[in-house]
Amino acid sequence: MSHNIKTLKQEFLEYIEIEKGRAVKTVENYDHYLNRFIDFAKVKDAGDITENAVRTYRLWLNRQSGGNNRATGETLKKKTQNYHLIALRAFLKYLAKRGVKTLSPEYIELAKVGERHLDLISADELKRLMEAPKGNDAKSLRDKAIMELLFSTGLRVSELCSLSRDLDLRQDEFSVRGKGEKIRVVFLSDGAKSALKKYLDKRTDVDDALFVKADGKERAEKEELRLTRRSVERIIKEYAIKAGISKKVTPHVIRHCFATDLLSNGADLRSVQMLLGHANIGTTQIYTHVTDNQLKKIHQQFHNKRK
């Protein structure tokens, strides 16, 4: 029985978008990764996906240069290679569920990658960053509210940009829809609530978005008022420079600070996982290095006390 690969791929993409609730961007990425394999291996039918085809493809991927690596001659990062393999494995699992005869998804093993490196800033640098927006104009109040909210909640920048202004600031919490359409509760500090109230009181527009472009310069392109992910990234970068921070600072760095602050003050890993909206606790474990300072103090306090 023939199983046309393009038809199956399209059905798979529709399945992960509708049944699995994957974001449109995720579906687009899966489409890109699968097309790359199909074109390389010249796959026409599901039966053409063989161990040899995958092995040859992995070897080819491992020798590719990618993005900014071309100038240095570096090959595609293992993490990026794994994105390709994850998409292929998910596709094979879908085919197996459909009863389509093809390669078993268990054959796909991900490449080993080094321990993830976290971009962090010190407590003093974070303090300087949070205090960098000054003034009572709409832009300064907005930017202060953005940073206070990011650090209070650990929101992803995409989650922050999607918020509406109908937040009930009398409450200390609100629900947010994160990755995979999963809903979680995040919590507002007094500082975040105060900054948001000052910003919203200053607003004169009626736009539904919580954070909008503040002045004529930002609105020059006649786009919608809602701030984009890129806009928020530029805002954080601007204040990091003003605060004299030489490291690269992004909204995700503030999310890292949120997680490490909780753990260093005694929060358990499972709770931090839920607050961050991580599907797998293994993702949250990258933050456990923050306990190193506490361990160092314990070592100094209790080790080798022989007199």
Catalytic amino acids? 156, 179, 252, 255, 278, 287
End-to-end Cα distance, the chain: 81
How far is 120 from 136, CA to CA, in rounded Å? Answer: 29
For 187, the 3-state DSSP assignment is strand
Give alpha helix (H) positions in the chain: 5-18, 24-41, 51-62, 78-98, 123-131, 138-153, 157-161, 190-202, 229-242, 251-264, 269-276, 281-284, 292-302
**Burial environment of residue 293 by CB neighbours within 10 A (0 to 12, 13 to 18, 19 or more):** exposed
How would you label 20-31 residue by residue, b for 16+ Cβ within 10 Å and e otherwise?
eebeeebbebbe
Distance of CA 243 to the CA centre of its chain: 25
